[in-house]
A and B are shown apart, each in its own frame.
Chain A
Amino acid sequence: MAIQGSFVASILLSYLVAACYGATFASLQDTLIVTGSPKAGQVLKGGEDNITVTWSLNTTFPAGTDSDYKTVKIKLCYAPISQQDRAWRKTEEELKKDKTCQHKIVEKPYSPSANTFTWTVQKDVPTATYFIRAYVHNSIDKEVAFGQTTDSHKATNLFEIQAISGRHVSLDIASICFSAFSVVSLFGFFFLEKRKAKAAQKS
């Protein structure tokens, strides 16, 4: 009884300690196999094309590895080439500060196999090169494991997304018309001014 009690207490304590410190990427185990439908080098269109993600537990790991896995968050992450000279997408070891994966695809409860999800690329996803990563969270929503579609150097199996431009023909026309009107009205002012000055001279 006492041993069980102290065992529970030590587990609780370790959870508390672990929760106080931010998880780092290096502390995560690469236990999920994640595959995405885009092939290497494929270009997808924002707002139109779909991505199908499948993930499952890597069975080469000992049984019980996934005992505290509760939820899985699948995210779209920037490849190193799209992070260059863009500090707002920087990779940091501490996961709270990490900005590599900024677009959430889906969040689902954990199950070891037969997971799949199809996602339409949203309209606010920017043009860049990506890979897909899944983070596994435990019951206190802390990251404990991950899996990704690329290798540890983030160099293989990358795909691109072409964003929507956000422009519409009506907007283009409005811009040109208002601009032209401003310039024309200016010349109208100069003309009016000359007329007024001539009138003042005559009177």
Chain B
Amino acid sequence: MEISQGGDDSHQKKFALPVDSEHKATEFRLFSVAAPHMRAFHLSWISFFACFVSTFAAPPLLPIIRDNLDLTATDIGNAGIAAVSGAVFARIAMGTACDLFGPRLASAALTLLTTPAVYCTSIANSAVSFLLVRFFTGFSLATFVSTQFWMSSMFSARVVGTANGVAGGWGNLGGGATQLIMPLVFDLIQHIGATKFTAWRIAFFIPALFQTLSAYGIFFLGQDLPDGNYSQLHKSGDKHKDNFAQVFYHAITNYRGWILALTYGYCFGVELTIDNIIVQYFYDRFNVNLHTAGIIAASFGLANLFSRPGGGMLSDLMAKKFGMRGRLWTLWIVQTLGGVFCILLGKVGSLGVSVAVMLIFSVFVQAACGLTFGVVPFVSRRSLGIISGMTGGGGNVGAVLTQVIFFRGSRYSTETGLTLMGVMIICCTLVITLIYFPQWGGMFCGPASKGTTEEDYYMSEWNSAEKEQGFHNASLKFSENSRNERGKRIGSAPTPNNRTPDTYV
């Protein structure tokens, strides 16, 4: 469907960025804050960043908190697990909430509802209360799904990968920034005159206020779709609501979604685990002071500035030459190398080498996150929201598992835990070899010899009754656009490159 010239002129005048027929931006201009597209981008990554800062605000201050609350290693491990377990189901539920209420209200609501947990961290006085505040604060990590959903609503297929990768990566940055921010804030408050056991409590008001303000920003400055908000569009009948039961069924019966959920647990999940344990690791093993441990730990998360977006861009680059098979191979290689460097991290005993290995490890593990979401959009078209939520939730499950097995209590020393986690990464990443798309192939097999097409794959999600009513048209458009996943070597069908790639809502 081509843009009609007449209508297009008036629309072009309305938006600061060039848009397609659905008014989704076809360009991604990082330094613009133009409403609604780039403004939505900046609001969503900033609020996701704020949620990450709050969720991982406790780990850098644990050497103080563990003395104040008389925590054992088991208590600390349990709280770390609680922090990432809440979001497992919250991420899946968030996909539904975005569908029903729109990403603006859904993310503003979740962000605001979790701020009491951050404020109340200041009044925690036992291991149980500490675990509870970390558990409820962790729910805010579900804003990942609203971020990705919002970007997919605002940006066309050509740039949605970049928008998603940068928004996701810069949000994850919060996990690194907090390791710097919290010790600094703590130092400042101590200098002003508070004792240690009071200063850390006051420090938690900073991430809490930041989170509150970002939620207000989303509500007052954000917009669900280029044309307006859900509540207005629903009433005017412009948006069609899909059947939740069908969408859910097609999501859970697609085995690729489950495989990616597992492997995301061993790149993103590992990233969350490291955010939780890394300050204590450097503080206790190498005897650096809290400030220095925070800086070292921060550099792990700060690599997200370029490594996760870089992973997304690498995925797109590989797809140009080798199609989906290239995406899968690159994902497997990068994530396995992440596992190798994790093994090394546990083995090195000197501070300098340890920091260097950690930095290399961070780049590989975060790039793997970006590479995963280069594959996710193609697993399902109809159930994209839930598949994204499942993958995201799987990431948190991985964080729960690795912390339960390796970093809870005193069974393994932290360095042994790191090495064993690296081995587990390598083993669990092997399942990527099982992903197979009949129209494009898998890692070891080419596409099905009977010539399955993209339409066959994506149309299998709709039954004939729905097709009669024309609900499947968006999937049809998407099938055409996804033909470039065949890669250069196999490209036989003419790619519709003169058409604007209309995209999915």
Contacts and interface: CB of A to CB of B under 8 A. Distances in A.
A196 B231 CA distance: 9
B277 interface: no
B197 A185 contact: no
Interface in A87-136: 87-88, 123-124, 126-128
A77 B146 CA distance: 50
Nearest to A97: B287
Contact of B235 (A88, A123, A190, A201): A201
Given A87-B73, A171-B198, A200-B235, A166 B68 contact: yes
B115 A166 contact: no
Given A85-B409, A200-B232, A165 B197 contact: yes
A174 interface: yes
B116 A182 contact: yes
B284 A186 contact: no
A132 B216 CA distance: 53
Decide if the interface of chain B is mainly helix, strand, loop or mixed: helix
B212 interface: yes
Interface string B456-499: 00000000000000000000000000000000000000000000
Contact of A183 (B112, B219, B413): B112
A175 interface: yes
Nearest to B115: A182
A190 B104 CA distance: 12
A178 B209 CA distance: 9
A23 interface: no
Contacts of B246: none
Interface in B68-85: 68, 70, 72-74
Interface stretch (B14-22, B89-97, B118-126): B118-126
Contact of B116 (A126, A183, A193): A183
B349 interface: no
A88 B202 contact: no
Contact of B197 (A88, A123, A175): A123
Contacts of A87: 73, 284, 410, 413
Contacts of B123: 167, 171-172, 175
Contact of B66 (A88, A166, A182): A88
Contacts of B201: 166-167, 171
B200 A166 contact: yes
B67 interface: yes
A148 B115 CA distance: 48
Given A174-B205, A200-B232, A186 B112 contact: yes
Nearest to A197: B231
A169 to B, nearest CB: 10
B232 A197 contact: yes
Interface in B21-39: none
A168 interface: yes
A197 B63 contact: no
B278 interface: no
Nearest to B65: A166
B196 A167 contact: no
Contacts of A197: 231-232, 235
Interface residues of B, number: 45
Interface string B280-292: 1001100000000
A86 B72 contact: yes
Identify which of A84, A166, A179, A194 gathers the most chain B CB atoms within 10 Å of its CB.
A166
B414 to A, nearest CB: 8
Nearest to B117: A179
B340 interface: no
B120 A124 contact: no
B196 A85 contact: no
B109 interface: yes
Nearest to B74: A85
A124 B202 contact: no
A190 B101 CA distance: 11
A163 interface: yes
Interface in A12-55: none
A166 B195 contact: yes
Identify which of A123, A182, A185 gathers the most chain B CB atoms within 10 Å of its CB.
A182
A190 B105 CA distance: 8
B197 A124 contact: yes
A125 B216 CA distance: 40
Contacts of A179: 115-116, 119-120
A174 B229 CA distance: 34
A171 B67 contact: no
B260 interface: no
Given A127-B70, A183-B116, A178 B202 contact: no
Interface in B161-206: 195-198, 200-202, 205
Contact of B125 (A167, A180, A190, A194): A167
B154 interface: no
B437 to A, nearest CB: 41
B195 A171 contact: no
A66 B109 CA distance: 70
B232 A175 contact: no
Given A85-B74, A123-B197, A164-B195, A189 B409 contact: no
B427 to A, nearest CB: 27
12 contacts: A84-B72, A88-B280, A126-B70, A128-B70, A164-B195, A167-B125, A174-B122, A174-B205, A175-B119, A178-B208, A179-B115, A182-B119
Given A88-B66, A178-B119, 16 more contacts: A85-B409, A86-B73, A123-B195, A165-B197, A166-B195, A166-B198, A168-B198, A171-B198, A175-B122, A176-B119, A178-B205, A182-B116, A185-B216, A186-B112, A189-B109, A197-B231
